[in-house]
A and B are shown apart, each in its own frame.
Chain A
């Protein structure tokens, strides 16, 4: 059985709204580095941050983040 990992479409949704990482960071109250880390998969956001991101991008949180099975 493989491991479950987090897949994110944050970058896509951010680009659709023509926002820079800094813009999105300012909207949710974090630093640009955090947004970059989430987009590159280096960081898993907390539930609170994930909901804030979804609200800022006006999209359901399930559209931004999903669990995927990676093969063993």
Chain B
């Protein structure tokens, strides 16, 4: 691979990290919304956000996609290209991903009794429990991977 190819691999790596930070940010917002729903399901804030989500979410996704795609230099990600394969099959990255999955698993296990204690008498407790568990699982996975895979 030439220097250009090396730069391309680095670019894909940075693009991936940026995307993961965006996902983490969106999960944090989602968690905030869930907390609002849990604490005050009939409150004005919770109802306003719930009404706005179907409008704002597609706009946010399009904006984020356009922004992160720009960081790839206009050339879309192709998993078959050698530079992308170097990124996807990288051993260090795969080892870090494995560690991150283990962290997320433990986070979910530890989080269950805490969530149950927080939600057991709240309206829609079971639904919120499921939603919180999902956010916790993906959030801890992404956060752990960003931490393990940093420079």
Contacts and interface: CB of A to CB of B under 8 A. Distances in A.
A66 B59 CA distance: 55
Nearest to A23: B6
Contact of B91 (A22, A32, A45): A45
A47 to B, nearest CB: 11
A43 interface: yes
Majority secondary structure, B binding face: helix
Interface string A21-43: 01101110111111001000001
Contacts of A30: 86, 89-92
Overall SS of chain A's interface: helix
Interface band, chain B: 20 to 34
Interface of B: 1-3, 5-6, 9-10, 13, 82, 85-87, 89-93, 95, 149, 151
Interface of A: 22-23, 25-27, 29-34, 37, 43, 45-46, 49
29 contacts: A23-B3, A23-B6, A25-B6, A25-B86, A26-B1, A26-B2, A26-B5, A26-B9, A27-B1, A29-B82, A29-B86, A29-B89, A30-B89, A30-B91, A31-B9, A31-B13, A31-B87, A31-B90, A31-B92, A31-B93, A32-B9, A33-B92, A33-B93, A34-B90, A34-B92, A43-B95, A45-B91, A46-B91, A49-B91
